[in-house]
């Protein structure tokens, strides 16, 4: 979809349209983009504060919550006000309940001026006996995030995004192969204050196949039936398991600051 910068009412209308289209397509798990309630290209802290919303009581959250009744789950990016801080967050509602809030750990570029970074491990949500890992946009560039989700038994990564750099859609193919996991990247389209967002929302399989992908400027719901159990098989050959064959005794450097 294409959120509109600073226009909360219009973003609720556009989100509602997506929710209705998804319901018509009998989608049971829906991923919406990062910062779907607010737009992205802020220029001041005041602008961010004007559109930041509390979870779960804001109107934006309430339409997600309502949609999630009837055995559905939805994740959306939200500009979140919490206590005295603002976060770039993702909220997950399932069966009419708030299931988790993930606060983006890896803030991109100017985002560091507007948001506090999240300081908690990315979560995995259970829904209808399947496991859904959550990350947001630029987390793609830090393979540790997807790896942690795989180690927490996520079968699919739900990935709201507002992508600016041209690498992520391809990088997610690698994230999927190296973790034997599915990934659903929901990316916004359009331009804001000179920033161009790259669309191409996609679903990728544990073998790195692009199961479906929208166009660069396409507003739509794209969906695919996936068998999440496929992600439980971590064998990359008969002899190589992508998680068990790690050699953590060699990885001390990975957990130290440079």
Task: Give yes or no: 66 in active site.
Answer: no
Residue (40 or 182) nearer to ligand ACM, CB: 40
Largest CA distance in the chain: 56
- Contact call for residue 138 and ligand ACM (CB under 6 A): yes
Which residue is listed with tokens 């790896």? 147
Task: Give yes or no: 137 in active site.
Answer: yes
199 within 8 A of 180, measured Cβ to Cβ = no
Q: Which of 34, 53, 80, 111 is catalytic?
A: 34
Residue (155 or 202) nearer to ligand ACM, CB: 202
Stretch touching ligand ACM by CB under 6 A, among 65-73, 156-164, 210-218, 231-239 = 156-164
Choice from 1, 5, 8, 34 touching ligand ACM (CB under 6 A): 34
Q: How many residues bind ligand ACM (CB under 6 A)?
A: 7
CB of 91 to ligand ACM, least distance (A): 17
Burial of 177 (0-12, 13-18, 19+ CB in 10 A): middle
Contacts of 257 (CB under 8 A, 6+ apart): none
Choice from 19, 79, 163, 226 touching ligand ACM (CB under 6 A): 163
Token pair, residue 110, equals: 């100017």
Stretch touching ligand ACM by CB under 6 A, among 24-32, 160-168, 239-247, 249-257 = 160-168
Choice from 42, 60, 67, 108 touching ligand ACM (CB under 6 A): 108
Q: Which of 137, 168, 176, 192 is catalytic?
A: 137
Cα separations in angstroms, 141 against 71, 83, 112, 173, 247 = 33, 29, 16, 12, 22
Residue (72 or 103) nearer to ligand ACM, CB: 103
- Contact call for residue 80 and ligand ACM (CB under 6 A): no
Whole-angstrom distance, CA of residue 8 vs CA of residue 176: 34
Choice from 12, 41, 151, 164 touching ligand ACM (CB under 6 A): 164
Residue (41 or 211) nearer to ligand ACM, CB: 41
Task: Give yes or no: 61 in active site.
Answer: no
- The binding site for ligand ACM (CB under 6 A) comprises 34, 108, 137-138, 162-164
């Amino acid at each position: 979809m294409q959120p509109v910068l600073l226009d909360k009412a219009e973003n609720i209308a556009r989100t509602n349209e997506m929710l209705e289209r998804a319901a018509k397509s009998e989608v049971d798990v829906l991923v919406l983009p990062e910062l779907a309630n607010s737009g992205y290209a802020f220029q001041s802290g005041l602008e961010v504060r004007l559109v930041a919303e509390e979870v779960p009581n804001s109107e934006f959250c309430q339409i997600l919550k309502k949609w999630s009744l009837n055995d559905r789950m939805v994740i959306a990016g939200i500009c979140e006000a919490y206590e005295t801080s603002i976060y770039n967050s993702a909220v997950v509602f399932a069966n009419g309940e708030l299931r988790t809030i993930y606060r983006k750990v890896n803030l991109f570029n100017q985002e560091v001026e507007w948001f506090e970074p999240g300081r908690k491990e990315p979560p995995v949500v259970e829904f209808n006996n399947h496991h859904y890992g959550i990350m947001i946009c630029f987390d793609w560039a830090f393979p540790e995030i997807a790896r942690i989700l795989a180690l927490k038994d996520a079968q699919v990564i739900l990935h709201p995004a507002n992508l600016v750099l041209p690498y992520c859609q391809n990088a997610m193919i690698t994230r999927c192969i190296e973790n034997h996991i599915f990934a659903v990247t929901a990316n916004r389209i359009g331009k804001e204050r000179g920033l161009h967002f790259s669309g191409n929302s996609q679903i990728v399989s544990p073998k790195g196949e692009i199961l479906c992908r929208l166009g660069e400027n396409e507003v739509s719901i794209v969906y695919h039936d996936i068998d999440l159990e496929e992600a439980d098989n971590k064998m990359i050959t008969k002899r190589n398991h992508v998680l068990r064959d790690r050699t953590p005794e060699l990885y001390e450097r990975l957990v130290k600051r440079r």
